[in-house]
Amino acid sequence: MADDILIPQTDTTDDLFVPDDQLLPVVEALIFASEFPVSLENLKSLLDEEYAVLGGSGVPAGRIVEVIDRLNRSYEDHRRAFRIRQIADGYQHTTDEALAGWVAKLYRNRQNKKINQSALETLAIIAYKQPISKPEIENIRRASADYSVKILLERNLITVVGRAETVGKPLLYGTTREFLLHFGLKSITELPKLREISEIIQDDEFEFEQQMRIKMDDQETEPRSDDSPEPNNEQTQS
Q: Report the chain's mean pLDDT, rounded to a whole number.
A: 77
User: Is 112 domain-assigned?
Assistant: no
| Domain membership flag for residue 231 | no
List all residues 6 or more positions away from 127 whose beta carbon is below 8 Å from its beta carbon.
175, 179, 188, 191
pLDDT at 158: 94
**Quick one: 125 and 191 in the same domain?**
yes
Nearest to 161, CA basis, from 152, 149, 151, 173:
173
Domain range enclosing 131? 117-226
> What is the DSSP track for 132-154?
EEHHHHHHHHTS--HHHHHHHHH
Q: Comparing 212 with 45, which gets the higher pLDDT?
A: 45
Residue 75 has pLDDT above 80, yes or no: yes
185 in the same domain as 85: no
Q: What region, left, alpha or beta, does residue 225 occupy, with left being phi > 0 and alpha being psi -120 to 50 degrees?
A: left
Task: Decide which of 100, 126, 159 is a domain's last residue.
Answer: 100
18-62 pLDDT, tens digit per residue, is 778 889 999 999 999 998 899 999 999 999 888 766 556 678 899
Q: Phi and psi of 158, rounded to 5°?
A: -135, 165
Give the single-character DSSP code of 112.
P
Domain containing 94 — which CATH number? 1.10.10.10
Q: Which pLDDT does position 161 carry in this prediction?
A: 94
For residues 120 and 137, the answer to whether their CB atoms sit within 8 Å is no
Residues facing 171 on adjacent strands: 163
Q: Is residue 64 part of a domain?
A: yes
pLDDT digits (tens, 9 = 90+) for 168-200: 899 999 999 989 988 888 888 888 876 665 555
Give 103's pLDDT tier (boundaries 50, 70, 90). confident
**Separation between Cα atoms, residue 13 and residue 69, nearest integer Å:** 14
Span 131-145, pLDDT tens digits: 999 999 999 988 899
The partner residues of 89 in beta bridges, in order of sequence, read none
